[in-house]
Amino acid sequence: MPYAVGMTRFGTVSIFSAALAATLSAPASARYDGKGVVDGATISGTVRLNGPGPKPEDFPITKDSNVCGQRTVPEDLIIGPGNGVRNAVVWIEGITTGKKMDPPTTVTVDQHGCRYQPRVLATAIGNTLRLLNSDPILHSVHAYRSTVSAFNVGMPFSGMKIDKVLDRPGILDLRCDAGHTWMRAWVHVFEHPYFAVTGADGSFKLDGVPAGKYKLRFWHERLGTKEKDVVVSPKSEAQVGVVFELD
Ligand SMILES: [Cu+2]
């Protein structure tokens, strides 16, 4: 085994009542220096629920059923194998130096089948958010920062695209004002490259982390937020698991 296993230290764990609390604490003026990393560490782990979770119950669609379908399943809590939580966002809070930022890119949220796809997206500041409508009906993207409206665009045509430069860190909460109340997506914008969205099994991985002590933050739209302290040494592989509980 080429790498020493790094120690993880389980520190203070805090749970906020609302997922949007993370928005309020996002530092607006933080700066990041991507000067590069030698012998970077890896932080990986799994976000889990303390049980299999409730069975998702589908509900009837009463608007645009010809395109949206007759029924849909809520996507605000998706539990996979091993009680893994999908679509949690994991990041290193407030990290100021480390690996280079990736070159600017475009990330897409598609309105397809009367859902935003993907539901949860994490990306870096300066990237472009492309809003796409693939449905032959009117959708809209009404983006909020916490409860404050950031922008609101109607998208009446299939194939329509609107680009928005992501010039502020924080969380955008996207909703459709065209009567599709179940449509929702979340775009997390970071000033550093240390973030991930958990996969279907709840797993995540952050690499190229400079040696040091960090606060790892976990966010889920319905489960809220948690924090864990982690200390990594050069080239180490730290495992950090977290378990959310349903209220
Ligand atoms: Cu819509």
| For residues 69-97, average pLDDT | 96
Element (H, E) at 91: strand 89-92
The residues facing 201 across adjacent strands are none
Distance in angstroms (rounded) separating the CA atoms of residues 79 and 147: 27
Q: What is the pLDDT of residue 154?
A: 97
Burial class (CB in 10 A: 0-12, 13-18, 19+), 60: exposed
Is residue 224 left, alpha or beta, with left meaning phi > 0 and alpha meaning psi from -120 to 50? Answer: left
**Structure-block tokens of residue 195:** 């973030």
Distance in angstroms (rounded) separating the CA atoms of residues 24 and 26: 6
3-state secondary structure 176-218: CCCCCCCCEEEEEEECCCCEEECCCCCEEEEEEECCEEEEEEE
How close is the Cα of 196 to the center of ligand 1, in Å?
A: 27
How close is the Cα of 152 to the center of ligand 1, in Å?
A: 12
pTM above 0.85, yes or no: yes
How close is the Cα of 184 to the center of ligand 1, in Å?
A: 9
How close is the Cα of 14 to the center of ligand 1, in Å?
A: 35
Give the residue among 177, 132, 126 at the shortest CA–CA distance from 152.
Answer: 177
Residue 122 confidence (pLDDT) above 50: yes
How close is the Cα of 183 to the center of ligand 1, in Å?
A: 6
**Structure-block tokens of residue 101:** 């930022």
How close is the Cα of 139 to the center of ligand 1, in Å?
A: 4
Question: Residues 132-177: pLDDT tens digits?
Answer: 999 999 999 999 999 999 999 999 999 999 999 999 999 999 999 9
Q: What is the pLDDT of residue 5?
A: 34
Residue 45 confidence (pLDDT) above 50: yes
Question: ω into residue 118 within 30 of 0, thus cis?
Answer: yes
Q: What is the pLDDT of residue 31?
A: 86
How close is the Cα of 51 to the center of ligand 1, in Å?
A: 32
How close is the Cα of 159 to the center of ligand 1, in Å?
A: 14
Q: What is the pLDDT of residue 23?
A: 41
* Least confident range of 9-18, 104-113, 130-139, 191-200: 9-18
Q: What is the pLDDT of residue 30?
A: 56
Cα(first)–Cα(last) distance of the chain, in Å? 41
Number of residues assigned to the chain:
247
How close is the Cα of 71 to the center of ligand 1, in Å?
A: 15
| For residues 94-122, average pLDDT | 97
How close is the Cα of 138 to the center of ligand 1, in Å?
A: 6
Distance in angstroms (rounded) separating the CA atoms of residues 169 and 225: 17
Distance in angstroms (rounded) separating the CA atoms of residues 147 and 145: 6
How close is the Cα of 40 to the center of ligand 1, in Å?
A: 43
Residue 99 confidence (pLDDT) above 70: yes
CA atoms within 13 Å, Cβ hemisphere of 86:
15
The residues facing 2 across adjacent strands are none
Q: What is the pLDDT of residue 107?
A: 98
Q: What is the average pLDDT value for the chain, to the nearest integer?
A: 89
